[in-house]
Homo-oligomer: A and B are copies of this chain.
């Protein structure tokens, strides 16, 4: 049972009050969806289903981009950037990987995986800054 296994994990989120709650899981969850939709598209020839898959993936990819942009601008501070100078480039690549040249523009699950891998790199840095 998930919550009992990690009783101290607090979910994190965003708004721009700011409430102080952030969590890369928001982007990752949508990216999981992107990859799952790509896979289901490959497994299903029905044209109506495929059209729905394309339009739904478009929305979920956009949500990935949004959650990543928010994290980049609102959570990360100059002191984080000093310690992790790759942040700018990593977010740029990850949001591009969610866009037309990446997961948004392709029905290949490999593109969804590339996006997930970049989000995991971001999450790793995020959780390091939380420990500090």
Binding site for B on A (CB under 8 A): 1-21, 23, 25-26, 28-30, 32-33, 36-37, 40, 48-56, 58-60, 62, 65-66, 69, 72-74, 88-89, 92, 95-96, 99-100, 104-107, 120, 123-124, 127-128, 130-131
Contact = CB atoms under 8 A, between A and B. Distances in A.
Per DSSP, chain A at the interface is helix
Q: How many copies does the complex hold?
A: 6
A12 B25 CA distance: 9
Contacts of A14: 33
A6 B73 CA distance: 27
When A and B form their complex, which 7 residue pairs have the shortest distance between CB atoms, in order from nearest?
A13-B29, A4-B7, A88-B88, A19-B36, A73-B95, A69-B69, A2-B127
